[in-house]
């Protein structure tokens, strides 16, 4: 029996099998009904039947196998399937599992019928499944990109504007001289909290750009990395008066970099070194060669466990219990890595009880170098 005839004959059985598996994938709280699951399975399988029943030349088959088919007969059903799955909270892995299960269900039932294999039909069926999957994943990615842009817009505008108003009001109260000392202390606390919330918003924006959007955008200019290091350490010293931070610069440290982003990276690394190091003693070295600049941040203190080193640059990973007290949301090292990667550079860490902990970044001087 031809595979197309087999699918038409066993249409209801295949749909029921698919529906049963899809139900096991539904996220908690999803309100997708059994009828909706069945309807989507019906749409996919019917579209595949139409595709199998369409004449296809050898040239079209060759193009279709590479995702370049002219008819794109599975596009509409693939898009509808993706839209429904996004609406009900399915992940890309769950979406992929559905197509894998549909393929396996049809071929398993076909094989168990002891029919003479229709190899041409099996190949056409696999092409239909692959095309529908490609269309669904493309649609899913496009919708995810749209949601990402909306998320960035909310963080960048709807949250930042009222936060800026709070910061400005708190700053005005702290310098106005009106009110008693208790009110002044409360205003100063509000200002510090709003500034910290602003930094968290910045970190979340960077997380969104790096995790979902690829690379953090850079504004490259001719930059003196030695000056960047000096300015960062002055700011760090003002915020951590008890810390002892030593800077040593050697070689030519001029290159085409985003000065603000490198300053952000160095500030994260030095801040971490002060927080987790011994007595706030930190050494920063910057060395320039013809092709690249190398910056290292070193501190003594408890070594980072080997297990933690494996995930230290992952987002939302906190290094210690002190991080969980609200000083960090676990994005600093992830963002530092993303910034270095955008510069086509590398970041690494070593940590032992005797040698201490050293974070090292290498950034090429040219925007085109890798």
Q: Which residue has the higher pLDDT, 212 or 364?
A: 364
- 191 and 237 belong to one structural domain: no
Task: Please give the model's pTM, rounded to 2 decimal places.
Answer: 0.55
Residue 370 domain flag: no
Q: Record the tokens describing residue 278, joined without a space.
A: 């011994």
Interacting residues of 357 by C-beta distance below 8 A, sequence separation 6+: 273, 276, 277, 298, 299, 300, 301, 303, 304, 349, 350, 351
* Same domain flag for 69 and 201: yes
Residues 210, 227: one domain?
Answer: no
CA distance 221 to 254: 10
Tell me: do 63 and 15 sit in the same domain.
yes
Same domain, 186 and 304: no
On whether both 100 and 194 belong to a single domain, the answer is yes
Residue 313 in domain: yes
Query: Cβ neighbours of residue 296 under 8 Å, at least 6 residues apart?
Result: 283, 284, 285, 286, 358, 359, 360, 361
Q: Single out the residue in 193, 214, 235 at which a domain terminates.
A: 214
What's residue 323's pLDDT?
A: 46
User: 191 or 325: which carries more pLDDT confidence?
Assistant: 191
Average pLDDT over residues 86-96: 79
How many Cβ atoms from other residues are within 10 Å of residue 116's Cβ? 7
Residues 25 and 119 in one domain: yes
Specify the pLDDT at position 320.
46
369 assigned to some structural domain = no
Q: How far is CA 351 from CA 269, 336, 339, 354, in A?
A: 14, 18, 22, 9
Mark whether 196 and 225 lie in a shared domain: no
The tens digit of pLDDT for each residue in 350-360 reads 999 999 999 99
In a domain, residue 10? The reply is yes
pLDDT of res. 322: 42
Distance CA 310, CA 351 (A): 12
277: domain CATH number? 3.30.565.10
Q: Are 360 and 225 in a shared domain?
A: yes
What total number of domains does the chain contain? 2
Q: Give CA separation, 334 vs 155, 203, 313, 329, 350, in Å.
A: 19, 10, 5, 11, 16
Q: CB under 8 Å to 165, separation ≥6 — which residues?
A: none
40/163 same-domain check: yes
Summarize the confidence of residues 241-266 as an average pLDDT: 93
In this prediction, residues 310-319 reach a mean pLDDT of: 70
- Helix, strand, coil percentages (3-state) for the chain, rounded to 5, are 60, 15, 25
Domain's final residue, options 181, 214, 247: 214
Could you tell me the residue range of the domain that residue 275 belongs to? 221-364
Rounded to an integer, the average pLDDT of 241-245 is 88
The C-alpha atoms of residue 2 and residue 10 are separated, in whole angstroms, by 12
Residues 6+ apart with CB under 8 A from 168: none
Beta strands in the chain (DSSP E): 221-224, 244-251, 254-257, 281-288, 292-299, 346-352, 356-364
Residues 168 and 239 occupy one common structural domain: no
Lowest mean pLDDT among 34-43, 112-121, 312-321: 312-321
- 142/150 Cα distance (integer angstroms): 13
291 within domain boundaries: yes
Both 296 and 206 in one domain: the answer is no
């Amino acid at each position: 029996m031809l595979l197309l005839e087999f699918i038409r004959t066993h249409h209801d059985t295949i749909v029921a099998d698919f529906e049963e598996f899809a139900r096991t994938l539904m996220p908690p709280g999803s309100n997708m009904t059994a009828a909706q699951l069945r309807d989507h399975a019906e749409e996919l399988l019917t579209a595949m039947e139409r595709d199998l029943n369409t004449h296809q030349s050898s040239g079209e088959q060759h193009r279709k196998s590479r995702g370049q088919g002219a008819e794109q007969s599975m596009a509409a059903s693939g898009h509808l399937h993706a839209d429904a799955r996004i609406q009900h909270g399915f992940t890309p892995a769950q979406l992929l599992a559905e197509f894998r299960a549909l393929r396996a269900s049809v071929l398993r039932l076909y094989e168990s019928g002891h029919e003479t294999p229709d190899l041409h039909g099996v190949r056409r069926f696999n092409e239909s499944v692959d095309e529908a999957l490609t269309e669904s994943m493309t649609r899913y990615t496009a919708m995810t990109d749209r949601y990402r842009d909306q998320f960035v817009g909310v963080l960048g505008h709807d949250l930042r504007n009222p936060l800026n108003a709070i910061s400005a009001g708190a700053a005005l109260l702290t310098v106005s001289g009106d009110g008693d000392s208790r009110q002044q202390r409360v205003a100063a606390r509000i200002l510090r909290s709003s500034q910290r919330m602003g930094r968290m918003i910045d970190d979340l924006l960077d997380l969104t750009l790096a995790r979902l959007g690829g690379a953090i955008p850079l504004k490259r200019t001719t930059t003196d990395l030695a000056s960047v290091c000096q300015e960062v350490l002055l700011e760090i010293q003002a915020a951590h008066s008890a810390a002892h931070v030593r800077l040593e610069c050697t070689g030519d440290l001029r290159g085409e970099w985003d000065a603000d982003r490198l300053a952000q990276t160095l500030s994260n690394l030095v801040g971490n070194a002060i927080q987790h190091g011994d007595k706030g003693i930190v050494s920063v070295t910057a060395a320039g060669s013809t092709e690249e600049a190398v910056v290292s941040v070193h501190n003594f203190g408890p070594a980072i466990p080997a297990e933690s080193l494996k995930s230290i640059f992952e987002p939302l990973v906190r290094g210690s219990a002190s991080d969980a007290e609200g000083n960090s949301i676990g994005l600093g090292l992830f963002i530092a890595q993303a910034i270095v990667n955008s510069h086509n550079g590398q970041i690494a860490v070593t940590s032992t009880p005797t040698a201490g902990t050293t974070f090292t970044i290498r950034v090429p001087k040219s925007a085109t170098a890798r």
